[in-house]
């Protein structure tokens, strides 16, 4: 009993009430720090995905450019002539009866309605 009393007298009381504002500040700082780390991490991850997408976009652009050049090479007059001679493609005669002459004003601009023909399509239904 006496020992317990002596221990109580010699021990330092922790003034929790006085420490609580500091504790709160520390917790808030910790939360703030963790949030900052989290968002920083997110930023880096997002940056990585942006980088990946940029790379993909560049690669797609390069592929597109390569294909455009190839299409242009295959559709030149001389290439088509060669393909025609080799029988890879053939010319189909357009009969006069298949040609529809539409008398319409010069090219309409914007979203104006334009004259079109669809012989053999809508007309024959």
Partner 1 sequence: MNKTAKVRAIIACFGLMCCFTGFSARLVYLQVDQHEKFERLAAEKHVKKQPIIAGRGEIRDVNGELLAANEPLNTVVADGSVIASGKVAPGEIAGLLSDLLKIPKAELAKKLDTQRKYVVLKRSVTEPDAAAINGRFKEFQYRTKKPVRGIFFEPDTRRVYPNNEVLSHVLGFMGQKRIEGDGAEETERMGVEGIERSMDKWLRGYDGFRYIERDRTGKEIVPYRGQERTARDGYNVRLTIDMRLQHIVETELDDLYKRYRPEFTTAIMMDPKTGRILAMANRPCFDPNDLSRGKSEISPEKMKNCAVINIVEPGSVFKIVPVSAALNDNLVTLDTIIGINGGRWDYGGKILKDHGHGDHPDLSVFDVVVHSSNIGSAKLGLKLGDQRFYEYVRSFGFGERTGINLPGEVSGIVHSPKSSGWNKLTLARMPMGQGVSVTPIQMVTAMSVIANGGKLMMPQIVDSVVDNDGKPIVNFDPVPMRQVVSSDAAAKLRSALKEVVSKRGTAFAATIPGYSAGGKTGTAQIAKPGGGGYYDNRYVTSFVGFFPVEDPQVVCLVMVDDAKATETQNYGGLIAGPAFSHIGEQTAHYLNIPPDPQPAPQAIAKLTKSDR
Task: Give the binding site for partner 1 (CB under 8 A).
Answer: 43-44, 46-48, 50-51, 58, 62-63, 65-66, 68-69, 72-73, 75-79
The three state secondary structure string of 39-73 is: HHHHHHHHHHHHHHHHHHHHHHHHHHHHHHHHHHH
The three-state secondary structure class of 96 is helix
Q: Alpha helices, DSSP H only, in the chain? A: 2-10, 16-74, 77-86
Nearer to partner 1, 27 or 45 (CB): 45
Nearer to partner 1, 20 or 73 (CB): 73
Nearer to partner 1, 6 or 63 (CB): 63
CB of residue 10 vs partner 1: minimum separation in angstroms?
13
CB 100, CB 117: distance < 8 Å: yes
CB of residue 39 vs partner 1: minimum separation in angstroms?
11
Report the C-alpha gap between 115 and 100 in whole angstroms: 12
CB of residue 48 vs partner 1: minimum separation in angstroms?
6
Nearer to partner 1, 20 or 64 (CB): 64
């Amino acid at each position: 009993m006496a020992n317990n009393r002596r221990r109580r007298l010699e021990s330092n009381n922790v003034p929790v009430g006085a420490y609580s504002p500091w504790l709160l500040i520390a917790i808030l700082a910790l939360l703030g720090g963790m949030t900052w780390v989290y968002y920083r991490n997110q930023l880096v991850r997002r940056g990585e995905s942006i980088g990946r997408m940029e790379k993909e976009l560049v690669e797609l652009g390069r592929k597109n450019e390569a294909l455009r050049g190839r299409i242009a090479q295959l559709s030149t007059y001389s290439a088509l002539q060669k393909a025609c001679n080799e029988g890879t493609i053939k010319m189909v005669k357009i009969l006069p009866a298949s040609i529809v002459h539409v008398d319409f004003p010069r090219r309409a601009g914007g979203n104006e309605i334009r004259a079109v023909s669809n012989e053999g399509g809508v007309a024959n239904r």
